[in-house]
Amino acid sequence: MNYIVSIIGRPNVGKSTLFNRLVGKRKAIVDVTSGVTRDRIYGNSEWNGVKFSVVDTGGFSISKNDVLEREIKNQIFIAIKESDVILFLVDIKIGILDSDREIAKILRKCKKIILLVVNKIDNGKSIYSNTDFFHLGFEKYYYISAINGSGTGELLDKLIEIFNHGEFFKKKEEILEKEFIPRFSIIGRPNVGKSTLINSFLNKNHHIVTNMSGTTRDSLDVLYKKWEYECILVDTPGIRKKSKIRDNIEFYSTMRTFNTIEYADVCFLMVDANRGWERQDMNIFRLVEKNHKGIIILINKWDLFRNTNFCTQKDYEFFIKKKIYPFDNVPILFISAKNKDGIHNILPMAYQVLKYRKNRLKTNILNKIMLPILKKNPPIPKKKNKFITIKYCTQLPSYTPKFIFFSNFPQYIKESYKRFVENKIRSHFDFVGVPIQIFFRKK
């Protein structure tokens, strides 16, 4: 059960500080400058054995003229819509402002559970502030200090109490039982044709945000429904090397793409045919693999390809598969997003990868095939005088393919042998485009 908690409030009330406190690491940027957070940022948290997602949002402003402020508000409204519980954060040192009242008015209209959280109680005296937060229209508020953690335990206890409530749990289950719509994220370096591919699927120009320079920083979800295919296509900003990121805008774009990968089912990694497979493509590929997402590699602009190093698609494909070994049974499609050449193959392949991602192998079949291979090719131990045997294997009951192999000395098995085992699983079973995890444990 995945619960979602969003932190909403005006600028500089400590939303990102609280976000970092709840997820247990410095994932959101904290700065004294107002308006640093502009996009939704996601993180995972756990309290008393209950896991949930936390969403940090940009500061809500009552300004109506600024284009960027409107985009931030859109992000906040999306966060409100997808949340189970909303933490409405206010600042005890500043008190209630017009923007706080505006937010309270909006939140009271939405049918969500709202917890009013009073932040910056950095010393006991702050509690005796003259500000009466009941004016905002909520029954109770929680005093916390996001910066030093005081009061957050009580707040988390309340969240878990809400999640474990029978009616809430039942309502959440009903939502999850609705028809599953897969998310396909289009990722890659800048200017490889990600937005063009979206436009080609939709048969129209689809502007991501505004025409203002430097505001294209967020990922955009587009519902696609045609014939038997219904999915959410996610257009993302390009991912540059860290050394090439020159300002905050590019930093936020890159961070948002990382979050998009985390919530995707299958990622379409687009590569410019003429630039070829570069180190940054490899970094993005490994990021998808690390997050255990399905992946399809799209070689775009094939109609413009002019490179004497590769004469055929087969040569190009062989070069890439050699780089990504052992996770080399990945679909590689050659397309022209602009001319719509080959794009009709993408969604059928994506649904096939989704199917492979859910593959569950019977234990007796897995052992029948794998154990003779491992007996014939036993692992060479890190230490001498250790004879390693593998007696049994099974697939774990997880959302993504995970396999566990039981051995007498699992601690002495090298990483290269793990790659060997993965390669053998891939050669005998259908896990095309799907990362798999291999674990060795003591029998």
Type of residue numbered 223: L
Check pLDDT > 50 for residue 208. no
More confident residue, 253 or 363: 363
Q: Give the mean pLDDT of 332-357.
A: 94
Q: What does the pLDDT read at residue 159?
A: 92
Q: Give the mean pLDDT of 293-310.
A: 86
Reported as a pLDDT band with limits 50, 70 and 90, residue 365 is: very high
Domains and CATH numbers, the chain: 3-176 (3.40.50.300), 183-357 (3.40.50.300), 363-442 (3.30.300.20)
| Average pLDDT taken over every residue of the chain | 80
Q: Which of 123-127, 217-221, 307-311, 410-414 has the highest mean pLDDT?
A: 410-414
Residue 326, preceding bond cis, omega within 30 degrees? yes
**% residues pLDDT > 90 (the chain):** 33
Check pLDDT > 60 for residue 242. no
pLDDT tens string 138-181: 878 899 998 888 899 999 999 999 888 766 655 555 555 444 68
Q: Give the mean pLDDT of 202-228.
A: 58
Q: What does the pLDDT read at residue 366?
A: 96
Look at phi and psi of residue 393 and say left if phi exceeds 0, alpha if psi is from -120 to 50, else beta. beta
Type of residue numbered 410: P
Q: Give the mean pLDDT of 291-295.
A: 93
More confident residue, 206 or 441: 441
Q: What does the pLDDT read at residue 125?
A: 56
More confident residue, 314 or 69: 314
Reported as a pLDDT band with limits 50, 70 and 90, residue 427 is: very high
Instruction: Indicate the range of 77-86, 271-280, 373-382 predicted with least confidence.
Output: 77-86
Q: Give the mean pLDDT of 355-380.
A: 93
Q: Give the mean pLDDT of 262-285.
A: 90
Q: What does the pLDDT read at residue 173?
A: 53
Check pLDDT > 50 for residue 41. yes
Reported as a pLDDT band with limits 50, 70 and 90, residue 432 is: very high
Instruction: Indicate the range of 256-260, 283-287, 411-415 predicted with least confidence.
Output: 256-260
Q: What does the pLDDT read at residue 126?
A: 59
Task: Return d(Cα 238, Cα 201) in angstroms, integer.
Answer: 19
Reported as a pLDDT band with limits 50, 70 and 90, residue 434 is: very high
Q: What does the pLDDT read at residue 23?
A: 86
Q: Which of 18-32, 47-61, 195-209, 386-400 has the highest mean pLDDT?
A: 386-400
Distance set, CA 45 to CA 42, 53, 76, 162, 231 (Å): 10, 6, 20, 15, 28
Reported as a pLDDT band with limits 50, 70 and 90, residue 53 is: confident
More confident residue, 19 or 67: 19
Cβ atoms of residues 116 and 142 within 8 Å: yes
Reported as a pLDDT band with limits 50, 70 and 90, residue 248 is: very low
Check pLDDT > 80 for residue 52. yes
Type of residue numbered 100: D
- Token pair, residue 378, equals 């036993």
Reported as a pLDDT band with limits 50, 70 and 90, residue 55 is: confident
Cβ atoms of residues 335 and 302 within 8 Å: yes
Q: What does the pLDDT read at residue 215?
A: 35
